[in-house]
Structure 1
Amino acid sequence: MRAAFTKMHGLGNDFVVLDARAADLPVITTGFARAITDRRTGIGCDQLIVLEPSDTADLRMRIFNPDGGEVGACGNATRAVALLHGSAVQIETGGGILNARPGDGGATVDMGQPRFDWDAIPLAYPMDTLAMPVGWEALDNPTAVNVGNPHAVFFIPDCDAVDLAQIGPVIEQDPLFPERVNVNVATVTDRDHIRLRVWERGAGITRACGTGACATAVAAMRRNLTDREVTVTLPGGDLQIVWGEDNRIRMTGPATEAYRGSFEWDDFA
Protein backbone atom coordinates (compact mmCIF):
# COMPACT_ATOMS: atom_id res chain seq x y z
CA MET A 1 0.00 0.00 0.00
CA ARG A 2 1.06 3.59 -0.57
CA ALA A 3 0.93 5.81 2.51
CA ALA A 4 0.92 9.61 2.68
CA PHE A 5 3.01 11.52 5.22
CA THR A 6 3.62 15.10 6.33
CA LYS A 7 7.11 16.22 7.35
CA MET A 8 7.02 18.83 10.13
CA HIS A 9 9.33 20.32 12.72
CA GLY A 10 9.33 22.48 15.82
CA LEU A 11 12.57 24.44 16.19
CA GLY A 12 14.34 21.80 14.08
CA ASN A 13 13.01 18.86 16.14
CA ASP A 14 11.51 17.05 13.15
CA PHE A 15 8.72 14.53 12.63
CA VAL A 16 7.17 12.27 10.04
CA VAL A 17 3.41 12.42 10.64
CA LEU A 18 1.13 9.58 9.51
CA ASP A 19 -2.66 10.04 9.69
CA ALA A 20 -4.57 6.84 10.51
CA ARG A 21 -7.86 8.55 11.36
CA ALA A 22 -9.59 8.18 7.98
CA ALA A 23 -8.16 4.77 7.07
CA ASP A 24 -6.41 2.10 9.11
CA LEU A 25 -2.67 1.69 8.73
CA PRO A 26 -0.75 -1.53 9.34
CA VAL A 27 0.61 -2.12 12.85
CA ILE A 28 3.56 0.14 13.66
CA THR A 29 6.37 -2.25 14.56
CA THR A 30 9.71 -1.41 16.14
CA GLY A 31 11.43 -2.26 12.86
CA PHE A 32 9.12 -0.02 10.84
CA ALA A 33 9.66 2.95 13.18
CA ARG A 34 13.42 2.47 13.00
CA ALA A 35 13.36 2.24 9.20
CA ILE A 36 11.22 5.35 8.64
CA THR A 37 13.20 7.53 11.06
CA ASP A 38 16.61 6.50 9.68
CA ARG A 39 18.20 9.59 8.10
CA ARG A 40 20.32 7.63 5.62
CA THR A 41 17.94 4.97 4.34
CA GLY A 42 14.48 6.20 5.45
CA ILE A 43 12.60 9.48 5.36
CA GLY A 44 14.51 10.61 8.43
CA CYS A 45 13.27 12.34 11.59
CA ASP A 46 13.63 12.61 15.36
CA GLN A 47 10.20 11.02 15.95
CA LEU A 48 7.53 9.19 14.00
CA ILE A 49 4.06 10.58 14.84
CA VAL A 50 0.91 8.54 14.19
CA LEU A 51 -2.52 10.17 14.48
CA GLU A 52 -5.44 7.89 15.35
CA PRO A 53 -9.11 8.26 16.37
CA SER A 54 -9.73 8.83 20.08
CA ASP A 55 -12.68 8.02 22.34
CA THR A 56 -11.68 10.70 24.84
CA ALA A 57 -10.28 13.58 22.74
CA ASP A 58 -10.35 14.99 19.21
CA LEU A 59 -7.53 12.67 18.19
CA ARG A 60 -4.86 10.36 19.58
CA MET A 61 -1.16 10.99 19.00
CA ARG A 62 1.36 8.16 19.24
CA ILE A 63 5.09 8.94 19.33
CA PHE A 64 7.89 6.60 18.25
CA ASN A 65 11.58 7.33 18.75
CA PRO A 66 14.36 6.31 16.32
CA ASP A 67 15.13 3.28 18.49
CA GLY A 68 11.60 2.07 17.76
CA GLY A 69 10.33 2.65 21.30
CA GLU A 70 7.01 4.38 21.94
CA VAL A 71 6.94 7.32 24.38
CA GLY A 72 4.19 9.23 26.14
CA ALA A 73 4.74 12.89 25.28
CA CYS A 74 6.45 15.29 22.89
CA GLY A 75 5.83 19.01 23.23
CA ASN A 76 7.21 20.02 19.83
CA ALA A 77 5.15 17.35 18.08
CA THR A 78 2.04 18.50 19.93
CA ARG A 79 2.52 22.02 18.54
CA ALA A 80 3.06 20.56 15.06
CA VAL A 81 -0.13 18.49 15.28
CA ALA A 82 -2.09 21.54 16.46
CA LEU A 83 -0.81 23.48 13.45
CA LEU A 84 -1.77 20.58 11.16
CA HIS A 85 -5.24 20.38 12.76
CA GLY A 86 -5.76 24.10 12.18
CA SER A 87 -7.87 24.91 15.24
CA ALA A 88 -8.04 24.33 19.00
CA VAL A 89 -7.70 20.61 19.65
CA GLN A 90 -7.65 18.05 22.46
CA ILE A 91 -4.93 15.46 21.89
CA GLU A 92 -4.82 12.11 23.67
CA THR A 93 -1.25 11.00 24.40
CA GLY A 94 0.38 8.30 26.47
CA GLY A 95 1.12 11.05 29.00
CA GLY A 96 -2.48 12.29 29.23
CA ILE A 97 -4.80 14.61 27.29
CA LEU A 98 -3.21 17.85 26.06
CA ASN A 99 -5.05 20.98 24.93
CA ALA A 100 -3.44 22.96 22.12
CA ARG A 101 -4.35 25.86 19.90
CA PRO A 102 -2.48 27.09 16.82
CA GLY A 103 -1.27 30.69 16.69
CA ASP A 104 1.00 32.84 14.56
CA GLY A 105 3.45 30.35 13.08
CA GLY A 106 3.12 27.88 15.91
CA ALA A 107 0.95 26.87 18.84
CA THR A 108 0.38 27.07 22.58
CA VAL A 109 0.05 23.78 24.45
CA ASP A 110 -1.28 23.16 27.95
CA MET A 111 1.20 20.48 29.01
CA GLY A 112 -0.68 19.64 32.21
CA GLN A 113 0.67 19.39 35.74
CA PRO A 114 4.25 18.33 36.49
CA ARG A 115 4.88 15.42 38.86
CA PHE A 116 7.72 15.29 41.34
CA ASP A 117 7.19 12.18 43.51
CA TRP A 118 10.04 9.70 43.12
CA ASP A 119 7.70 6.91 42.01
CA ALA A 120 6.03 9.19 39.43
CA ILE A 121 9.31 9.96 37.64
CA PRO A 122 9.87 6.95 38.12
CA LEU A 123 13.05 6.31 40.11
CA ALA A 124 14.25 2.91 41.29
CA TYR A 125 14.07 3.92 44.96
CA PRO A 126 12.90 6.89 47.09
CA MET A 127 14.90 10.10 47.22
CA ASP A 128 14.47 13.87 47.16
CA THR A 129 13.74 14.79 43.53
CA LEU A 130 14.45 18.52 43.98
CA ALA A 131 18.19 17.97 44.47
CA MET A 132 18.92 14.30 43.94
CA PRO A 133 22.00 13.08 45.89
CA VAL A 134 23.54 11.43 42.83
CA GLY A 135 26.05 12.36 40.14
CA TRP A 136 27.77 11.30 36.94
CA GLU A 137 31.23 12.77 36.33
CA ALA A 138 30.85 16.58 36.49
CA LEU A 139 27.03 16.44 36.53
CA ASP A 140 25.41 16.05 39.93
CA ASN A 141 22.39 16.92 42.10
CA PRO A 142 19.80 16.99 39.30
CA THR A 143 16.13 17.77 39.69
CA ALA A 144 13.74 15.08 38.45
CA VAL A 145 10.41 16.00 36.84
CA ASN A 146 7.79 14.01 34.94
CA VAL A 147 5.90 16.07 32.35
CA GLY A 148 4.38 13.12 30.50
CA ASN A 149 7.84 11.58 30.30
CA PRO A 150 10.77 11.49 32.76
CA HIS A 151 13.44 14.19 32.88
CA ALA A 152 16.60 14.79 34.90
CA VAL A 153 17.70 18.44 34.88
CA PHE A 154 21.27 19.54 35.69
CA PHE A 155 21.99 23.23 36.31
CA ILE A 156 25.57 24.10 35.38
CA PRO A 157 27.60 27.25 34.57
CA ASP A 158 27.91 26.48 30.83
CA CYS A 159 25.63 23.89 29.22
CA ASP A 160 27.64 24.09 25.97
CA ALA A 161 30.74 22.76 27.75
CA VAL A 162 29.20 19.33 28.45
CA ASP A 163 29.99 16.40 26.15
CA LEU A 164 26.32 15.45 26.02
CA ALA A 165 26.86 12.78 23.37
CA GLN A 166 29.14 10.94 25.80
CA ILE A 167 27.38 11.40 29.16
CA GLY A 168 23.78 11.51 27.91
CA PRO A 169 23.38 7.79 27.15
CA VAL A 170 25.15 6.85 30.39
CA ILE A 171 22.60 8.76 32.49
CA GLU A 172 19.66 7.77 30.27
CA GLN A 173 20.33 4.07 30.85
CA ASP A 174 21.36 4.21 34.51
CA PRO A 175 19.45 1.64 36.62
CA LEU A 176 18.23 4.54 38.80
CA PHE A 177 15.75 5.25 35.98
CA PRO A 178 13.74 2.06 35.29
CA GLU A 179 12.02 3.66 32.27
CA ARG A 180 15.22 5.46 31.23
CA VAL A 181 15.31 9.28 31.33
CA ASN A 182 15.72 12.42 29.24
CA VAL A 183 18.87 14.32 30.21
CA ASN A 184 18.79 18.13 30.35
CA VAL A 185 21.82 20.37 30.90
CA ALA A 186 20.81 23.95 31.59
CA THR A 187 22.35 27.34 32.32
CA VAL A 188 20.24 30.04 33.96
CA THR A 189 21.31 33.41 32.52
CA ASP A 190 18.61 35.58 34.13
CA ARG A 191 15.40 35.34 36.13
CA ASP A 192 13.50 35.02 32.85
CA HIS A 193 15.95 33.12 30.63
CA ILE A 194 17.50 29.63 30.47
CA ARG A 195 19.85 28.07 27.92
CA LEU A 196 19.25 24.35 27.41
CA ARG A 197 20.60 21.28 25.63
CA VAL A 198 18.85 17.91 25.76
CA TRP A 199 19.75 14.27 25.29
CA GLU A 200 16.40 12.67 24.45
CA ARG A 201 15.63 9.15 25.63
CA GLY A 202 15.74 6.87 22.59
CA ALA A 203 16.59 9.69 20.19
CA GLY A 204 19.87 11.28 21.27
CA ILE A 205 20.74 14.96 20.92
CA THR A 206 18.00 16.96 19.21
CA ARG A 207 17.81 20.64 18.27
CA ALA A 208 14.84 21.16 20.58
CA CYS A 209 12.77 19.27 23.14
CA GLY A 210 9.45 20.74 24.26
CA THR A 211 8.98 18.53 27.30
CA GLY A 212 12.61 19.13 28.22
CA ALA A 213 12.04 22.89 28.12
CA CYS A 214 8.96 22.48 30.34
CA ALA A 215 10.75 20.20 32.81
CA THR A 216 13.79 22.47 32.98
CA ALA A 217 11.72 25.62 33.47
CA VAL A 218 9.71 24.03 36.29
CA ALA A 219 12.88 22.69 37.92
CA ALA A 220 14.43 26.17 37.84
CA MET A 221 11.27 27.68 39.31
CA ARG A 222 11.17 25.08 42.10
CA ARG A 223 14.76 25.97 42.97
CA ASN A 224 13.91 29.69 42.87
CA LEU A 225 16.40 30.28 40.08
CA THR A 226 13.82 31.96 37.82
CA ASP A 227 10.39 33.56 37.87
CA ARG A 228 7.26 31.65 36.80
CA GLU A 229 7.52 32.74 33.14
CA VAL A 230 10.74 32.11 31.21
CA THR A 231 12.23 31.92 27.75
CA VAL A 232 14.10 28.67 27.17
CA THR A 233 16.69 28.89 24.39
CA LEU A 234 17.57 25.59 22.72
CA PRO A 235 19.93 25.07 19.76
CA GLY A 236 16.90 25.30 17.44
CA GLY A 237 15.41 28.45 18.97
CA ASP A 238 13.20 29.77 21.77
CA LEU A 239 10.20 28.43 23.66
CA GLN A 240 8.08 30.43 26.12
CA ILE A 241 7.19 28.47 29.26
CA VAL A 242 4.71 29.58 31.92
CA TRP A 243 3.99 27.60 35.10
CA GLY A 244 0.66 29.00 36.23
CA GLU A 245 -0.79 29.32 39.71
CA ASP A 246 -3.16 26.52 38.66
CA ASN A 247 -0.06 24.23 38.57
CA ARG A 248 -0.35 23.77 34.79
CA ILE A 249 2.51 24.31 32.35
CA ARG A 250 1.86 26.24 29.14
CA MET A 251 4.36 26.16 26.31
CA THR A 252 4.32 28.47 23.30
CA GLY A 253 6.57 28.18 20.27
CA PRO A 254 6.82 27.76 16.50
CA ALA A 255 5.90 24.78 14.35
CA THR A 256 6.41 24.34 10.62
CA GLU A 257 5.16 22.05 7.87
CA ALA A 258 8.17 21.27 5.67
CA TYR A 259 6.68 19.13 2.90
CA ARG A 260 4.31 16.26 2.05
CA GLY A 261 4.99 12.99 0.30
CA SER A 262 4.17 9.30 0.12
CA PHE A 263 5.96 5.95 0.29
CA GLU A 264 5.37 2.25 -0.27
CA TRP A 265 4.70 0.67 3.14
CA ASP A 266 6.40 -2.60 2.22
CA ASP A 267 9.66 -0.73 1.53
CA PHE A 268 9.98 -0.15 5.30
CA ALA A 269 8.01 -3.02 6.81
Structure 2
Amino acid sequence: MIFTKMHGTGNDFIIIDDRDEKFLNRESSIAKILCDRHFGIGADGILVIRNSNSADIEMIIINSDGSYAAMCGNGIRCFAKYAYDENIIKKNEISIMTGDGIKIAKIEDNGGIAEKVKIYMGTASFETKNIPALLKEDIINHTIFVNNKEYKINSMLMGVPHTVVMGKLEKFDVNEGKYIEKYNEIFPEGTNVNFCEVVDESHVKVKTWERGAGATLSCGTGCCASAVAANKLGLTGKKVQVSVPGGIVYVEIEEDGVYMIGDSMITFRGETDLI
Protein backbone atom coordinates (compact mmCIF):
# COMPACT_ATOMS: atom_id res chain seq x y z
CA MET A 1 0.00 0.00 0.00
CA ILE A 2 1.22 3.48 -0.95
CA PHE A 3 0.26 6.15 1.59
CA THR A 4 0.77 9.80 2.46
CA LYS A 5 0.96 11.11 6.03
CA MET A 6 -0.49 14.58 6.67
CA HIS A 7 -1.54 16.74 9.57
CA GLY A 8 -3.72 19.76 10.19
CA THR A 9 -2.56 21.62 13.32
CA GLY A 10 -1.19 18.37 14.69
CA ASN A 11 -4.29 16.26 13.98
CA ASP A 12 -2.64 13.58 11.83
CA PHE A 13 -4.00 11.31 9.14
CA ILE A 14 -2.95 8.62 6.71
CA ILE A 15 -4.23 9.36 3.21
CA ILE A 16 -5.06 6.33 1.05
CA ASP A 17 -6.03 6.75 -2.60
CA ASP A 18 -8.56 3.97 -3.11
CA ARG A 19 -10.41 5.16 -6.18
CA ASP A 20 -10.06 1.64 -7.58
CA GLU A 21 -11.80 0.30 -4.40
CA LYS A 22 -9.07 -2.21 -3.67
CA PHE A 23 -9.68 -1.83 0.07
CA LEU A 24 -13.48 -1.57 -0.01
CA ASN A 25 -15.14 -2.81 3.23
CA ARG A 26 -11.73 -3.22 4.90
CA GLU A 27 -11.35 0.36 6.08
CA SER A 28 -11.98 -0.33 9.77
CA SER A 29 -9.42 -3.10 10.14
CA ILE A 30 -6.91 -1.16 8.04
CA ALA A 31 -7.29 1.92 10.25
CA LYS A 32 -6.66 -0.02 13.45
CA ILE A 33 -3.48 -1.53 12.02
CA LEU A 34 -2.03 1.57 10.37
CA CYS A 35 -2.92 4.08 13.10
CA ASP A 36 -1.14 2.18 15.87
CA ARG A 37 1.73 4.46 16.92
CA HIS A 38 3.99 1.59 17.97
CA PHE A 39 3.28 -1.20 15.50
CA GLY A 40 1.93 0.80 12.56
CA ILE A 41 2.45 4.20 10.94
CA GLY A 42 0.66 6.13 13.64
CA ALA A 43 -2.24 8.56 13.17
CA ASP A 44 -5.51 9.82 14.61
CA GLY A 45 -7.32 8.29 11.65
CA ILE A 46 -7.26 7.39 7.97
CA LEU A 47 -8.79 9.33 5.07
CA VAL A 48 -9.79 7.19 2.09
CA ILE A 49 -10.20 8.76 -1.35
CA ARG A 50 -13.08 7.41 -3.42
CA ASN A 51 -14.84 8.51 -6.61
CA SER A 52 -18.24 10.15 -6.21
CA ASN A 53 -21.24 10.40 -8.51
CA SER A 54 -22.58 13.53 -6.79
CA ALA A 55 -19.41 15.47 -5.87
CA ASP A 56 -15.91 15.95 -7.26
CA ILE A 57 -14.53 13.35 -4.84
CA GLU A 58 -15.54 11.39 -1.72
CA MET A 59 -13.79 11.25 1.64
CA ILE A 60 -14.19 8.25 3.95
CA ILE A 61 -13.04 8.93 7.53
CA ILE A 62 -12.11 6.15 9.92
CA ASN A 63 -10.87 6.87 13.45
CA SER A 64 -7.84 5.15 14.94
CA ASP A 65 -10.08 2.71 16.84
CA GLY A 66 -11.72 1.60 13.58
CA SER A 67 -14.95 3.54 14.08
CA TYR A 68 -16.51 5.56 11.26
CA ALA A 69 -16.72 9.37 11.46
CA ALA A 70 -19.15 11.38 9.35
CA MET A 71 -16.99 14.49 9.27
CA CYS A 72 -13.57 15.77 10.31
CA GLY A 73 -12.58 19.42 9.93
CA ASN A 74 -8.81 19.03 10.02
CA GLY A 75 -9.09 15.87 7.95
CA ILE A 76 -11.03 17.52 5.15
CA ARG A 77 -8.44 20.33 4.90
CA CYS A 78 -5.71 17.69 4.50
CA PHE A 79 -7.90 15.78 2.06
CA ALA A 80 -8.59 18.85 -0.08
CA LYS A 81 -4.91 19.85 -0.17
CA TYR A 82 -3.91 16.33 -1.19
CA ALA A 83 -6.52 16.15 -3.97
CA TYR A 84 -5.41 19.57 -5.26
CA ASP A 85 -1.65 19.12 -4.97
CA GLU A 86 -1.77 15.66 -6.55
CA ASN A 87 -3.88 16.96 -9.47
CA ILE A 88 -6.74 14.59 -8.64
CA ILE A 89 -9.09 17.60 -8.62
CA LYS A 90 -7.35 20.78 -9.79
CA LYS A 91 -10.08 23.31 -9.03
CA ASN A 92 -10.16 26.28 -6.68
CA GLU A 93 -13.48 25.05 -5.31
CA ILE A 94 -13.70 21.32 -4.67
CA SER A 95 -16.93 19.58 -3.69
CA ILE A 96 -16.27 16.70 -1.29
CA MET A 97 -18.82 14.09 -0.33
CA THR A 98 -18.70 13.19 3.37
CA GLY A 99 -20.93 11.32 5.76
CA ASP A 100 -22.34 14.73 6.70
CA GLY A 101 -23.15 15.63 3.10
CA ILE A 102 -21.26 17.61 0.48
CA LYS A 103 -18.69 20.13 1.77
CA ILE A 104 -16.99 22.81 -0.33
CA ALA A 105 -13.26 23.40 -0.01
CA LYS A 106 -11.94 26.73 -1.31
CA ILE A 107 -8.27 26.57 -2.22
CA GLU A 108 -5.79 29.43 -1.84
CA ASP A 109 -3.12 28.56 -4.42
CA ASN A 110 0.56 29.40 -4.16
CA GLY A 111 2.59 28.20 -7.13
CA GLY A 112 0.29 25.30 -7.89
CA ILE A 113 0.18 24.17 -4.26
CA ALA A 114 -2.75 24.59 -1.86
CA GLU A 115 -1.46 26.97 0.82
CA LYS A 116 -4.68 27.61 2.74
CA VAL A 117 -7.99 25.80 2.63
CA LYS A 118 -11.34 27.30 3.61
CA ILE A 119 -14.04 24.74 4.33
CA TYR A 120 -17.77 25.27 4.51
CA MET A 121 -18.55 23.15 7.57
CA GLY A 122 -22.34 23.39 7.41
CA THR A 123 -24.59 24.54 10.24
CA ALA A 124 -24.57 23.63 13.91
CA SER A 125 -27.73 22.02 15.26
CA PHE A 126 -28.64 22.23 18.95
CA GLU A 127 -31.69 20.00 18.49
CA THR A 128 -31.13 17.08 20.82
CA LYS A 129 -32.62 14.56 18.39
CA ASN A 130 -29.90 15.44 15.89
CA ILE A 131 -26.94 15.18 18.28
CA PRO A 132 -28.35 12.66 19.47
CA ALA A 133 -28.96 13.35 23.15
CA LEU A 134 -31.56 12.02 25.58
CA LEU A 135 -32.87 15.41 26.72
CA LYS A 136 -35.84 17.31 25.34
CA GLU A 137 -34.47 20.85 25.66
CA ASP A 138 -31.35 22.30 24.02
CA ILE A 139 -28.21 21.56 26.02
CA ILE A 140 -26.92 25.04 26.82
CA ASN A 141 -25.17 25.70 30.14
CA HIS A 142 -26.55 22.38 31.33
CA THR A 143 -25.03 21.03 34.55
CA ILE A 144 -23.82 17.46 34.82
CA PHE A 145 -21.75 15.67 37.46
CA VAL A 146 -19.15 13.16 36.31
CA ASN A 147 -16.79 11.52 38.80
CA ASN A 148 -18.01 13.98 41.44
CA LYS A 149 -16.97 16.97 39.33
CA GLU A 150 -19.39 19.59 38.00
CA TYR A 151 -19.37 20.55 34.32
CA LYS A 152 -21.46 23.14 32.48
CA ILE A 153 -21.94 21.66 29.02
CA ASN A 154 -23.16 22.93 25.66
CA SER A 155 -23.90 20.26 23.06
CA MET A 156 -24.60 20.32 19.34
CA LEU A 157 -24.22 18.44 16.10
CA MET A 158 -21.38 20.09 14.17
CA GLY A 159 -21.03 17.40 11.53
CA VAL A 160 -20.51 15.01 14.45
CA PRO A 161 -21.67 15.28 18.08
CA HIS A 162 -19.77 17.86 20.12
CA THR A 163 -19.95 18.98 23.73
CA VAL A 164 -18.23 22.19 24.78
CA VAL A 165 -17.21 22.86 28.39
CA MET A 166 -16.38 26.52 29.03
CA GLY A 167 -13.74 27.54 31.58
CA LYS A 168 -10.05 28.02 32.23
CA LEU A 169 -8.12 25.22 30.55
CA GLU A 170 -5.89 24.84 33.60
CA LYS A 171 -8.91 23.54 35.50
CA PHE A 172 -9.37 20.58 33.15
CA ASP A 173 -7.31 17.56 32.22
CA VAL A 174 -8.22 16.71 28.63
CA ASN A 175 -8.50 13.06 29.68
CA GLU A 176 -11.60 13.99 31.67
CA GLY A 177 -13.25 13.99 28.26
CA LYS A 178 -13.29 10.19 28.13
CA TYR A 179 -15.87 10.12 30.93
CA ILE A 180 -18.06 12.85 29.46
CA GLU A 181 -17.83 11.16 26.03
CA LYS A 182 -19.55 8.07 27.44
CA TYR A 183 -22.00 9.87 29.72
CA ASN A 184 -24.80 7.50 28.70
CA GLU A 185 -27.47 9.35 30.66
CA ILE A 186 -27.39 11.94 27.88
CA PHE A 187 -25.26 10.70 24.95
CA PRO A 188 -26.32 7.25 23.70
CA GLU A 189 -23.76 7.33 20.87
CA GLY A 190 -21.09 9.26 22.76
CA THR A 191 -19.83 12.77 22.08
CA ASN A 192 -16.62 14.61 21.30
CA VAL A 193 -15.60 16.84 24.21
CA ASN A 194 -14.00 20.29 23.94
CA PHE A 195 -12.67 22.32 26.84
CA CYS A 196 -12.81 25.96 25.78
CA GLU A 197 -11.32 29.07 27.36
CA VAL A 198 -12.31 32.50 26.09
CA VAL A 199 -9.30 34.82 25.83
CA ASP A 200 -11.24 37.75 24.39
CA GLU A 201 -14.13 38.33 21.97
CA SER A 202 -12.07 37.17 18.98
CA HIS A 203 -9.89 34.47 20.50
CA VAL A 204 -10.49 31.15 22.27
CA LYS A 205 -8.21 28.32 23.35
CA VAL A 206 -9.41 24.73 23.01
CA LYS A 207 -8.27 21.24 23.87
CA THR A 208 -10.26 18.24 22.67
CA TRP A 209 -11.00 14.66 23.56
CA GLU A 210 -12.18 13.01 20.35
CA ARG A 211 -14.69 10.21 20.30
CA GLY A 212 -12.88 7.26 18.75
CA ALA A 213 -9.40 8.80 18.88
CA GLY A 214 -8.81 10.17 22.39
CA ALA A 215 -6.86 13.33 23.15
CA THR A 216 -5.69 15.03 19.96
CA LEU A 217 -3.58 18.10 19.24
CA SER A 218 -6.47 19.58 17.28
CA CYS A 219 -10.03 18.86 16.14
CA GLY A 220 -11.48 20.94 13.31
CA THR A 221 -15.14 20.29 14.01
CA GLY A 222 -14.35 20.81 17.70
CA CYS A 223 -12.83 24.22 16.95
CA CYS A 224 -15.99 25.14 15.06
CA ALA A 225 -18.27 23.83 17.82
CA SER A 226 -16.31 25.77 20.45
CA ALA A 227 -16.55 29.00 18.43
CA VAL A 228 -20.28 28.44 17.90
CA ALA A 229 -20.89 27.74 21.61
CA ALA A 230 -18.86 30.77 22.74
CA ASN A 231 -20.74 33.00 20.30
CA LYS A 232 -24.12 31.61 21.33
CA LEU A 233 -23.30 32.35 24.97
CA GLY A 234 -22.41 35.94 23.99
CA LEU A 235 -18.74 35.53 24.86
CA THR A 236 -17.24 36.07 21.39
CA GLY A 237 -18.03 37.59 18.02
CA LYS A 238 -18.57 35.77 14.75
CA LYS A 239 -14.91 35.66 13.68
CA VAL A 240 -12.70 33.77 16.08
CA GLN A 241 -9.10 32.64 16.25
CA VAL A 242 -8.99 29.19 17.82
CA SER A 243 -5.69 28.20 19.44
CA VAL A 244 -5.19 24.47 19.96
CA PRO A 245 -2.12 22.52 21.14
CA GLY A 246 -1.16 21.89 17.51
CA GLY A 247 -1.54 25.41 16.13
CA ILE A 248 -4.20 27.90 15.06
CA VAL A 249 -7.31 27.78 12.88
CA TYR A 250 -9.86 30.49 12.17
CA VAL A 251 -13.62 30.09 12.38
CA GLU A 252 -16.17 32.40 10.78
CA ILE A 253 -19.87 32.17 11.56
CA GLU A 254 -21.97 33.37 8.63
CA GLU A 255 -25.70 33.38 7.94
CA ASP A 256 -25.43 30.23 5.83
CA GLY A 257 -23.26 28.33 8.30
CA VAL A 258 -19.77 27.92 9.69
CA TYR A 259 -16.48 28.27 7.82
CA MET A 260 -13.05 27.10 8.93
CA ILE A 261 -9.75 28.37 7.53
CA GLY A 262 -6.36 26.79 8.11
CA ASP A 263 -3.36 25.12 6.59
CA SER A 264 -2.28 21.49 6.40
CA MET A 265 0.99 19.76 5.71
CA ILE A 266 2.33 16.63 4.07
CA THR A 267 4.83 15.14 6.52
CA PHE A 268 5.99 12.10 4.56
CA ARG A 269 5.08 9.52 1.93
CA GLY A 270 5.75 5.81 2.04
CA GLU A 271 4.84 2.24 1.31
CA THR A 272 3.76 -0.35 3.87
CA ASP A 273 3.50 -4.13 3.81
CA LEU A 274 1.22 -4.21 6.87
CA ILE A 275 -1.89 -4.51 4.66
- Report TM bin, short chain: over 0.9
- Distance, in Å, in 2 between the alignment partners of 1:255 and 1:153 is 24
Residue 65 of structure 1: which of 53, 57, 63 is its match?
A: 63
- Distance, in Å, in 2 between the alignment partners of 1:139 and 1:220 is 19
1:106 and 1:256 in contact (8 A); partners too:
no
Map residues 5-24 of structure 1 onto 2, 5 A cutoff: 5-22=3-20, 24=22
Q: Cα 1:41–1:7, aligned 2, differ >3 Å: closer, same or farther?
A: same
1:250 counterpart = 2:259: yes
Give the SS at the match of 2:142. coil
Which residue of the partner structure matches residue 146 of structure 1? 157
Map residues 128-143 of structure 1 onto 2, 5 A cutoff: 128-136=138-146, 137-143=148-154
Moved more, 125-134 or 72-81: 125-134
Which residue of the partner structure matches residue 95 of structure 1? 100
TM-score scaled by length of structure 1: 0.93
2:34 and 2:41 in contact (8 A); partners too:
yes
Map residues 116-127 of structure 1 onto 2, 5 A cutoff: 116-127=126-137
Which residue of the partner structure matches residue 197 of structure 2? 187
1:210-268 per-residue CA deviation (whole Å, 9 max, x = no partner) reads: 0000000001111110001100000011111000023x10000110111111122xx34
Which residue of the partner structure matches residue 87 of structure 2? none
Give the SS at the match of 2:188. coil
Shift of 1:29: 4.6
Which residue of the partner structure matches residue 177 of structure 2? 168
1:204 counterpart = 2:204: no
Give the SS at the match of 2:129. helix
- Distance, in Å, in 2 between the alignment partners of 1:139 and 1:97 is 38
Q: Which consecutive unaligned segments of at least 5 residues does structure 1 have?
A: none
- Distance, in Å, in 2 between the alignment partners of 1:139 and 1:214 is 24
1:171-205 per-residue CA deviation (whole Å, 9 max, x = no partner) reads: 11111211110000010010000010000001011
Which residue of the partner structure matches residue 54 of structure 1? 52
1:72-100 per-residue CA deviation (whole Å, 9 max, x = no partner) reads: 11000111111112232111111111100
TM-score scaled by length of structure 2: 0.91
Letter in 1 for 2:156: V
- Distance, in Å, in 2 between the alignment partners of 1:116 and 1:201 is 18
1:153 and 1:216 in contact (8 A); partners too:
yes
Root mean square deviation of aligned Cα: 1.4
Which residue of the partner structure matches residue 88 of structure 2? none
Map residues 29-40 of structure 1 onto 2, 5 A cutoff: 29-40=27-38
How many residue pairs get aligned? The number is 261
- Distance, in Å, in 1 between the alignment partners of 2:126 and 2:239 is 19
Residue 225 of structure 1: which of 215, 232, 235 is its match?
A: 235
Shift of 1:125: 3.0
2:21 and 2:50 in contact (8 A); partners too:
no
2:27 and 2:62 in contact (8 A); partners too:
no
Shift of 1:26: 4.3
- Distance, in Å, in 2 between the alignment partners of 1:11 and 1:70 is 21
- Distance, in Å, in 2 between the alignment partners of 1:33 and 1:224 is 40
- Distance, in Å, in 1 between the alignment partners of 2:150 and 2:20 is 47
Shift of 1:22: 4.2
Could you tell me the percent identity over the aligned residues? 35
